[in-house]
Chains A and B, each alone.
Chain A
Amino acid sequence: MPKTRFAVNDDLWNQFAPLVARVEKPSRYLGQEWGSVEPSEKSDADYHAVLVYPDTYEIGQANQAIAVLYDCLNANERIYCERAYLPWVDMITAMRASKLPLASLETYTPVCDFDFVGITLPHEMASTNILEFLDLSGIALHACDRTEDDPLVFGGGPLAYNPEPLASFFDAFFIGEGEELDLEVALLHRRMKQAGASREQILRELSHVEGVYVPSLYETHDQRIEGLSSEMRGYTVAQPRFDDVSPRVVKRVIQEFDTLKALPRLIVPYSELVHDRLAVEILRGCNRGCRFCQAGMIYRPVRERSADTIISAVAEGLACTGYDEVSLTSLSSTDHSTIGQMLRRLNTRFYGTGKSVSLPSQRVDALGVELARLAAGEKKGGLTLAPEAGTQRMRDSINKGVTEDDLMQAVIGAVEAGWRGFKLYFMIGLPGETDEDVAGIGALCKRVYRAAKDAIPDDQPRNIRLTVSVALFIPKPCTPFQWDGQIPLEEIQHRIEVLRGSFPKKGIDLRWHDSATSYVEAVLARGGRECAELIEQAWKNGARFDAWTEQFNFDAWQQAGQACGVPIMQRAVCEYEEGALLPWSHISCGVSEAFLRSERQKAHEAMTTPDCSFGPCSQCGVCQDLHVHNSTQVKRVLPEARL
């Protein structure tokens, strides 16, 4: 292959320019940001990769996984990695009218001309966007229709733990952490392609790489779902077609997390992103074990970076990007064993510079508030807490590990520290939930509101802003509630009535999420390959940008569901049989099915399981199966011992 193969496609940009001039937020389509890799830096590269986020620039560019993988791939001199995002609807319409293909941001190369197209799979509601992306790129939707000239289309991210609904659209999925895996796959693909191997040979070889799932090498069988009528389809389960293909694909995980670069090469956008600040990942994994939470299962074990590494990354990151705010990110940043010490050190360093530190979430206890105070400084907007359920029985059932005392201490402490605005998150429709549990949300919020008002000093106005946001439970694969269905629509309506009745008419702002999107999400989360047809039909019916409330088109999904024999409402509420094979049974995040079943049983009995990063092993199976272990900087201790 010739050297300096890559250059900016000015012809294509010149065709895009008149379109860019008349759409909303042109900066989404410009590229050329500070930190982006230019073709002149890649004179030795001969393999072209593009990382894709299936939503708009301002959502995708904020994604930390893309930033990390962009850095990992570009660190190799043979690979030039670019980025592409889904244009907004106005640009999509303009591109289709002008017959322009979707192109990368750095060089405006059509996506279909790349070797490697890596699409992030962030959540179920991005599924139709993936089809929109492939179609706009001129890449055949179905992997089986792609030719030797087409790129290999890879998927990775949370959805890869049940890739089946998207299986027919991808050549391969990456299960688990991508820092090593993406590079390994790219280099193997490059080597085989240059040696003249066929697409089929390459995919077969890729299937031998730990953490790679090639769906075309598996055949599927239909599994009936108990309780659904015979004209409705069940789900599919997958088994390998060949002896050399593993019946179980286990996730890739990096034990030596602290040795990974804490600060990838960062791109500083021109437009405002959803999270427009420096993000430094301070730890990975969360073992709190909330039974509804998929992230708490698939990202185990817990691995912390050291305070010194984090502080250096923050200082260097702010200096080289020009941001004035840093977020210390992870699933549970306040659980980091040295978080208090880190925040104090950062506050000392940033005093008087206009720079600030933020935490993405707060623990529901007094320590959480103390840490939030350290992070917020004088800026005290709103404090967000997530008790998730209204009664202690229900909080124990979901293993939330929060008591009413914790919540009250947190709120009173926060009022004393100066906060006046609070947002509380809850869920309804959880397995085993009763009307009493739902009414308990209102009762708890009233007590919180009163306690917060009473905690205001006498010489200050007694104003408290309390917003309560209630979401509908969505069962997710790899969780103890993966077998459970959602509650039927009539039951939701009833529980919302109970919920509303439990709240005072004034004082507390109560909001609940649209149940229609939750039903679609639940069907896709637990579906098999039969859902590919559903997604494709919904997309053909006009569904796209389903995560954008104003764009969500429930009719498109319902009609698609009827046409494909996968009716949304019936599928969302059905319970799967324990012990039966599931659509994702061949994909393993390391957490054993026995553990999930035992956790489900404990949920029924409202029994809790402690977080193993603070205490004894909970026997989830991850450490034994993946040969890894929790790795904290110092021994984690419970909050009461730390204050």
Chain B
Amino acid sequence: MNALAPSGRSLAPFEARLSGVHDVERKSAAGDLARTGLPGPRVEAWHYTNLRALSGHVFAESDVLFDEKEARAVLASVIPEGSIFEKLPRLVLVNGRIAPGLSSSTASLPEGVSWSSFASAPDFGTQTSPQRDPLVALNTALASDGMQLSVATGVKAGQVLLVSLALSSSGVVSFHPRHNVALAPEASLTLIEISAGNDGQELYFHNPVLTCSLAEGAHLEHVKLQQEAGNAIHLATVYADIAGHATYESFTLTLGSALARHEVHASLAGAHAAVHVNGAQLLGNTQVGDITSVITHSAPDCISRQTVRNVLTDRSRAVFQGKVLVERVAQKTDGYQMNQALLLSPTAEIDAKPELEIYADDVRCSHGATVGALDEEQLFYLRSRGIAGAQARQMLVEAFLIEATDLVRDEVARTLLDGALADALLNRITAEERGS
């Protein structure tokens, strides 16, 4: 595992575990990794997000046993007891492994919806590209568990929760869950994915891969709330294959972790398919939050939409990389991409790269980006009506972010995000006041 591409980072943090890999698929992924190493800043896709935080540690496998009380407390912090979210069918993973005791029973799933554990029958699928994406290769080599969910033809499955909790382990750990969601023709589902961690534990690295396949006319709304512990590293990769007339709508809200990346590879494979890759990030301290997407139009008459909003305080940094690739056959493509950032501190930073790669002539594609501070005139308007400075700022920030979460169509999911956002804003404002 020592042969590294010149731009690669050493695999030392994972070396011990990679050497124990034997399956064909895992071995080939480990081989890919050995060739490239972990991506360094010279790799274009990782130009703005540096993985040096991974070096300097040796990531062990997480403990199998966990403290149930601690688990319930962390769970309650994201799904308050007695809330509507508590009644939804849910699958809970603790440190990368399914925890049946915290999850709903299979019987509670709606008709036509079924799930199984990745551990019981590992299926890596064919959607991912470990040769190109080193973190996916790492996941492939080390994935131990995850959710495999399927929805039968025509079934409107409603909401399903996928919760990933990180609890105190005896050391620095990493887990690499592998999830798969398959929607049969005309099926629909809202997948609410929550990642949460227990603050005050040692650093951990959560590296999930989710593959989604949508058959003709299917509709998947994927809403993600990322609220990992403050020192965590969260690097998630999502692949979505979208057939004709199907829609994949996603929204990711980044609040937690020290270093986060949400990377989406969406492929519009059939005519009249649609994809929405939206998101919002509220970052403070020295957090780095990265939303990266590659949307490939491989069929005519498809629509892609992307709106990402960032609010940055302290020394935080947001990264947005959005690529829309329109292949020659994808005539009549309609693509739109918007990235906006509010910088609330003189030391915050935003790096954006909205990219269009277009090979078809009859298309309508546009992107826009704006970066700036809060509008003084808006602040003045509020203050002239007697609203205090801090509160006025909070109102404007909240309005800015809620305009983004408004894009979430599923009301239950939207309520969850808005609640988490309000809490986070409140914490941040109180922190700011305490600091001043």
Answer yes or no: do A and B interact: no
Binding site for A on B (CB under 8 A): none
Binding site for B on A (CB under 8 A): none
